[in-house]
Structure 1
């Protein structure tokens, strides 16, 4: 999906705004991206998918739509990422989704590092997935959602767009016609100010993505695929008993 014309602009922070490894950009002058009619149409379609999922989940737990759908810089392969803020039994979420006509294709039990909060990703097809934390998120993990750009259900219904950073380490700042973008690799303090997050989360994300780019791998500590016919809770318990780092974090599951 073409985003339309791009032109260089002065960097003004006050201007309004699957597991694919994307190479980050270390240097990038600020440019303005003007969205085409097709881009706006695609954004609307992806947001409609997000609204339907969030409507199903809203009575149970607060959820956010994360990433390009919240920022606006979508493309034809963009994921619709819905993230729950609090741990909830996966079966409850899946029942809510089933009641609204969604079919679970498969799930993934994922842990980025031995110390990170493990999550269950529920894949619904059409690049839509729901992330369920299995324990309480840390401060930095919660801040990451704001770093990437996130909207609540009510904010999404108001058709808002928010600043956030993509996998190429470009800060996306929405404008009336599209967005401004520039690399944050050497702009950690400025990025933190615009996003309203700590410099810690910006620095951690920059270092992690640059390290991943140099090593050429995703860096996930754990990834277990769970078919739709199998109980997610039972698999989580079984895997937790096998892996010491996971067993320590998920002791209440065992």
Structure 2
């Protein structure tokens, strides 16, 4: 199905990408490369779409000095690598995240599954293919996007996104479960207090939680 974007849609996308570009340029000035993933990368945004940024080569010390609204650490499951999150706003609509350990292949491919774009791509006004939360494959076109159900098209999606079919099916199962049962929850979330640093929080959780420790050392 073809979806044509309205003038309002293009304006919302431009506004969100302007914010993303400013953040990615700031990160680059500090020696880190950031990427935007999700709807802002694909283009199928709405006014409530989050601006999600990931840094795969983080400098924890520098990131800890950024002026943010609040910080937290999440480990989605006992078998996933923990990540730190820096929320730039109260509602967690603009967030910089980074892994606290070595990401497994499927965890890296998660970002490509939803759509991943770098600073150059944003500056050149490119949009990328990805799968949205409704399990629709979003394929950008000149006037908007084409969308295709992921169900039954997993192999095609894997080729388009250049990721494994295993990752496609894993994400499909998870998102289907969330749709059926609502938010499935996360294994661990730790919200940092006041001036507590990522390092101090990391050390505290590492000492007290064997599953956190295991994935850091994996």
Match of 1:116 in 2: 80
Secondary structure of the residue aligned to 2:192 is strand
| TM, length-normalised to structure 2 | 0.92
Cα distance per residue 1:226-247 (max 9 Å; x no partner): 2452222111211221111012
Does the aligned pair in 2 maintain the 1:87–1:135 contact within 8 Å?
Answer: no
- Answer yes or no: is 1:38 the counterpart of 2:2: no
Aligned in 2, Cα 1:38/1:73: closer, same or farther, shift over 3 Å? same
- Structure 2 unaligned residues grouped into runs of 5+: none
Runs of 4 or more above 3 Å deviation: none
Does the Cα contact within 8 Å between 1:240 and 1:246 map onto a contact in 2? yes
RMSD: 1.7
Q: Counterpart in 2 of 1:220?
A: 186
Equivalent of 2:207, from 226, 241, 245? 241
Q: Which residue of 2 aligns with 1:13?
A: none
Deviations 1:206-243 (A, max 9, x none): 01111233333333111111245222211121122111
Q: Across the two proteins, how many residue pairs are aligned to each other? A: 215
Q: Which has the higher helix share?
A: 2
Q: Deviations over 1:135-183 (max 9, x none)?
A: 1211111111111101111111111101101111111110000011122
Alignment correspondent of 1:177: 143
Q: 1:225 to 1:177 in 2, by over 3 A?
A: same
3-state DSSP class of the match of 1:44? Answer: helix
Unaligned runs of 5+ in 1: 1-30
TM-score computed with the length of structure 1 as normaliser: 0.80
Contact 1:86 1:135 in 2 (8 A): no
Q: Which moved more, 1:228-237 or 1:168-177?
A: 228-237
Query: In the alignment, which residue of structure 1 is the partner of 2:122?
Result: 156
